Structure 1
Amino acid sequence: MSKAKFSVFAQNFTLLREAQMEDGYIVKEYSLNITSNKLVLTFRPAVNSFAFINGLEVFSVPDNLFPEEVRTIDLQGGNKSLQGEALETVARVDMGNTTVLPQNDTLWRLWISDNAYLIDNNLGSSVSNVSAVNFTEVTEDIAPASVYGTATILNSSDPNLNANLTWTFDVIPGFDYLVRLHFCNIMNEPTQQAIFLEIFIDSRHAGHLDLGSRTSDVFGAPYFMDVCTRVFGSTKLNVSVGPSKLNNPTVILNGLEIMKINDARGSLDVPDVVSSGHSEIKVVVIVVIAVGSFVVVVSVVIVILFCRRRRRRRRMKPVLGKEQHFLMNWGRKVHTTGSTYSNGTSIFSSPMIGYRFPFVAILEATDNFSENLVIGVGGFGKVYRGILKDETKVAVKRGTPQSNQGLAEFRTEIEMLSQFRHRHLVSLIGYCDEQDEMIIMYEYMENGTLKNHLYGSNFPSLSWRQRLEICIGSAKGLHYLHTGSAKAIIHRDVKSANILLDKHFMAKVADFGLSKTGPDIDQTHVSTAVKGSFGYLDPEYLTRQQLTEKSDVYSFGVVLLEVLSGRAVIDPSLPREKANLLEWAMKSYRSGKLEDIVDPCLVGQVKPDCLRKLWDIIEKCLAENGICRPSMGEVLWNLEYALQLQENEERSNQNNEHSSHISCVSTSETSRQLSRASSGVNDDELAGISMSKMFAEMVRQERPVRDI
Structure 2
Amino acid sequence: MENSGNLGLLVRISSIFCLVCLSVGFKPIDNYLIDCGSFKNRSEGQRVFIADNSSSSSYTLTTPQHIFANSVSNSISLYYDAALYQTARIFSGPSHYNFSIKEQGRHWIRLHFFPFVFENYNMSNAKFSVSAQNFTLIRELQLGNSSVVKEYCLNITSNKLVLTFNPAAKSFAFINALEVFSIPENLIPKEARTIDPKGDNRTLWEQALETVARVDMGNATVLPQNDTLWRLWVSDDAYLIDKNLGSFVSNVKAVNFTGGLMTEDIAPASVYGTATRLNYDDPRLKANLTWSFDVNPGFDYLVRLHFCDIVSNSTQQGIFLHIFLDTQLVGHLDLGSKTSNVLGVPYFMDVCIKASARHKLNVSVGSSTIVDYPSVILNGLEIMKINNARGSLDVPDLVSSRSSKMKVVVMVGLAVGSFVVVVVLAAVLFLFRRRRRKPVQETEEHFSMNTGQIVHTTGTKYSNGTAIFSSSKIGYRFPFMAILEATDNFSENLVIGVGGFGKVYKGVLRDETEVAVKRGAPQSNQGLVEFRTEIEMLSQFRHRHLVSLIGYCDDQNEMIIIYEYMKNGTLKNHLYGSNLPGLSWRQRLEICIGSAKGLHYLHTGSAKAIIHRDVKSANILLDKTFMAKVADFGLSKTGPDIDQTHVSTAVKGSFGYLDPEYLTRQQLTEKSDVYSFGVVLLEVLCGRPVIDPSLPREKVNLVDWATKSYRNGKLEEVVDPILVGEIKPDSLRKYWEITEKCLQEHGIHRPSMGDVLWNLESALQLQGNEQTPNHNGQLSSQASHVSRLETGLEFSRTGSVSDLAGISMSTVFAQMVREEMR
TM-score (norm 2): 0.39
Structure number with greater Rg is 2
TM-score (norm 1): 0.45
**Larger RCO of the pair (alpha carbons < 8 Å, separation 6+):** 1
